[in-house]
Amino acid sequence: MAKTPETEHPVKAFGWAARDTSGTFSPFNFSRRATGERDVQFKVLYCGICHSDLHMSKNEWGITQYPIVPGHEIVGVVTEVGSKVEKYKIGDKVGVGCLVGSCGQCDQCSIDLENYCPKQIWSFNSTYHDGTILYGGFSDIMVADESFIIRWPENLPQNVGAPLLCAGITMYSPLRYFGLDKPGLNVGIVGLGGLGHVGVKFAKAFGAKVTIISTSSSKKKEAIEHLGADEFLVSSDPEQMQAAASTLDGIIDTVSAVHPLGPLLSLLKPHSKLIIVGNPGKPLEVPIFPILSGRKAVVGSAIGGQKEVQEMIDFAAKHNVFPDVEMIPLDYLNTAMERLLKSDVKYRFVIDVAKSLKSK
């Protein structure tokens, strides 16, 4: 007799799952593996909601395995540790981001870039080493190998900080890797959503001058007065774009919809990079002439390795880089997904998991 999600492991767990392409969530009983010798189990207190959770719940990328429990911006408190765990103890504040495993042997793993390991294991909707499907942080407990656990700084609120585990590292890593983390540089950020607003905060913490590039002026006041951006460009305004031509040292593009890259390339100084971190789902057209004539590059970046995620979390705590969040209960999840689809959130939903389940 085939085992069900509720019986395949010994530890009972509860969460909210989507069961088909409607992406509608409802309560879900399942199970977690027993805490292995190098595992850390923790009670989930909060979990951020990422746009990829929405895509995955509806199988928009064609890889979803139902039922699916998303969530990869997961924070909580340690409840159990394996016999060979050295870094953590019961009661520690911890987090788990996008990854919970990798091969540990390839050239990328050897330089702390597990995020580029060809055998990376994601926090949910992936198959773990034991052959079972993983469930994410829209749930009451989590278990992961200690190598993929992030130590949480005492002065970083877990509810506000949860989105750093995906949105934060997605912006921090390219700023660091491509050298845009130096005072005085002019950094452009395309889109002012969950990713973009955190990018502004990190870039400013590095001492950069930040220009937001958006399709309309509706977020200009918010960007400059609240988030601290220095400039705001409306990409549909030819005069503004022309005036800003060749002024930026680098651009991070967070947009997950199909959009033209030519106008963005025109803003770059020669020898600079347009860094793609959004995933439109369909191919983008890349105009070649501006790349050739300015020795410019279009490149990509995806999250970060565990060492860099810890570095990012510690940096955020030290420099008060806190995402702007809206706290919600678990049973608001379907409404939150509808609002996320309309970009109706400033700027990241975070589920108050523990409070939601107190009465359960």
Per-residue pLDDT of the chain (360 residues; tens, 9 = 90+): 568 899 999 999 999 999 999 999 999 999 999 999 999 999 999 999 999 999 999 998 899 999 999 999 999 999 999 999 999 999 999 999 999 999 999 999 999 999 999 999 999 999 999 999 999 999 999 999 999 999 999 999 999 999 999 999 999 999 999 999 999 999 999 999 999 999 999 999 999 999 999 998 999 999 999 999 999 999 999 999 999 999 999 999 999 889 999 999 999 999 999 999 998 878 999 999 999 999 999 999 999 999 999 999 999 999 999 999 999 999 999 999 999 999 899 999 999 999 998 755
Three-state secondary structure call for residue 170: helix
Strands (E), 89-203: 93-96, 99-101, 121-122, 141-145, 150-151, 186-190
> Cα separation of 70 and 18, whole Å?
9
> Cα separation of 353 and 65, whole Å?
23
* Residue 13 token pair: 């767990």
Rounded to a whole number, what is the distance in angstroms from the first to the last CA of the chain?
30
Burial state string for 22-45 with b = 16 or more CB within 10 A and e = fewer than 16: ebebeebebbbbebbeebbbbebb
Query: Burial of 354 by CB count in 10 Å (0-12 exposed, 13-18 middle, 19+ buried)?
Result: middle
DSSP assignment, residue 223? Answer: I
Three-state secondary structure call for residue 154: coil
> Cα separation of 74 and 356, whole Å?
15
Using alpha carbons only, what angle is made at residue 358 by residues 32 and 67, rounded to the nearest 5 degrees? 40
Whether 314 contacts 202, CB under 8 Å: no
Q: Quick one: pLDDT at residue 282?
A: 85
Beta bridge partners of 94: 76, 151
* Residue 144 token pair: 């992961």
